[in-house]
Amino acid sequence: MTFLVTEHTVKTPRHTTGYLACGAESAPLLIFVHGWPELSRSWRHQLPVFADLGFRCVAPDMRGYGRSSTYTRHEDFTQEQIVQDMVELLAFLGRDKAVWIGHDWGSPVVWNMAAHHPDKVVGLTSLCVPYIKGFTLEERLPLIDRKVYPEAEYPVGQWDYQYFYAENFEKAHKDFEKDIRRVVKTLFRKGNPDGAGKPAFTASVRKNSGWFGGNFPDLPRDGDVITEQDLEAYTAALTRNGFFGPDAWYMNNERNGAYAGQAKNGGKLSMPVLFLHGAYDYTCETMTSKFPEPMRRDCSDLTEVVVKSGHWMAQEKPVDVNAAIAKWLATKLPHYWRT
């Protein structure tokens, strides 16, 4: 049976979340959480596949994106607020728990669901971003690969672009809004094996006074990652909402660190976890650096799989991603699947 992907909305007194759904309403629930600067649409290759495998699949537009509410203050985009959006979504769906699957900024959301609401998490999958309790910049600095990023030249390594947000937020989000179609075409590109062992371009954003000096190149669309229809959808949504909200996710370093102090079990995770490494993701580089080490320490039931892709893994290599998640569900959560 092939299920259609349908659009829905949940409204509470504090927030509105638009979401896509696919699969039998009574089937075991998978919730797919997108990152920056994406949409629920980013899971278009996963929703119908896992619906056909017997799951109810839900993908929200996250706070600041698509059909969900956006706000005008940085503090409205803390992890604590965003996790509460997901708690409300789960309640609206009439469920007590789900398997949570996240990518990019969606990964801290699902990791934080597990750390703060472990009773609501059957298991979780993270694409590209490993678990670090507070997801603060300070926690990441000791994990930088200093062979690739000598401290004298790259004091904060590949995370330089996040400091640019903190120091030049107005310029940063306005630069993205100059030509959103160009931004989407430039960002959504497949991985390149030739970049291994070389500094990511995100390491020089402050030196360049912004991403590409504030002017994105006019590159051809990468058809291995997005179609023309996808390009139009991302462009329209980001044009409608702007980049303030998406970029404000980066502006809560201290607040998110403080939130981590409230985690259950000291932030240790005992549920089954799947982590998918992007072999050619050079900003979230997990192949040779220490970046995954906190995750390996704090997750007691961890499975790791390498996908030969860049950062936009679910869109670039959907067959590989779907196969890895399906195998993990079958081996680690067979009882959940059968429900």
Query: What is residue 121's predicted lDDT score, i.e. its pLDDT?
Result: 98
Q: What is the CA radius of gyration of the chain?
A: 19
Instruction: Give residue 2's pLDDT.
Output: 80
CB 192 within 8 A of CB 310: yes
Cβ of 291: how many Cβ atoms within 10 Å? Answer: 21
pLDDT attached to residue 89: 98
Contacts of residue 147, defined as CB under 8 A and 6 or more positions apart, other chains included, come to 197
- Strands of 16-22's sheet in order across: 6-11, 16-22, 56-60, 29-33, 98-103, 121-127, 273-278, 302-307
Report the pLDDT value the prediction gives residue 131, as an integer from 0 to 100. 98
Residue 190 CA to residue 207 CA, distance in Å, equals 25
What was the pLDDT predicted at 1?
67
Task: Choose among 292, 263, 300, 245: nearest CA to 112.
Answer: 263
pLDDT in tens, 50-93: 999 999 999 999 999 999 999 999 999 999 999 999 999 999 99
Residue 121 placed within a domain: yes
Q: Does the residue 90 lie in any domain?
A: yes
110 in any annotated domain: yes
Residue 338: the pLDDT is 78
DSSP for 138-182 reads HHHGGGS-TTTS-TTT-TTGGGHHHHHHHH-HHHHHHHHHS-HHH
Domain ranges, residue 204: 6-338
Render pLDDT for 193-222 as a digit per residue (tens, 0 to 9): 999 999 999 999 999 999 999 899 999 999
β 29-33/56-60 pair status: parallel
pLDDT mean for each 10 residues of the chain (339 residues): 92 96 97 98 98 98 98 98 98 98 98 98 98 95 97 97 96 95 98 96 95 94 98 98 98 98 97 98 97 98 98 98 98 91
Q: Which two tokens stand for residue 2?
A: 């092939």
Task: State residue 69's pLDDT score.
Answer: 97
- What is the pLDDT, as a whole number, of residue 277? 98
Residues in the chain: 339
**Does residue 1 sit within a domain?**
no
Above pLDDT 70, what percent of the chain? 99
What value, to the nearest 5°, has the Cα angle with vertex 87 and ends 252 and 263?
55
CATH code of the domain covering residue 290? 3.40.50.1820
Tens of pLDDT, residue by residue over 5-25, are 999 999 999 999 999 999 999
For residue 151, being part of any structural domain is answered with yes
**Residue 44, pLDDT score:** 98
> Of 184, 14, 40, 180, which Cα lies nearest the Cα of 101?
40
According to the model, what pLDDT value does residue 138 have?
95
Q: CB neighbours of 193 closer than 8 A, spacing ≥ 6?
A: 279, 280
Q: In terms of Cα–Cα distance, which of 52, 60, 61 is closest to 24?
A: 52
- The pLDDT, as a whole number, for residue 237 is 98
Mean pLDDT of the chain: 97
Q: How many domains, in total, are found in the chain?
A: 1
Q: Examine residue 268 and state whether it is found in any structural domain, yes or no.
A: yes
User: For residue 271, what pLDDT is reported?
Assistant: 98
Three-state DSSP at 274 gives strand
Does residue 61 sit within a domain? yes
Residue 295 lies in a domain: yes
**Torsion (CA) 219, 223, 226, 232 in degrees, nearest 10:** 60
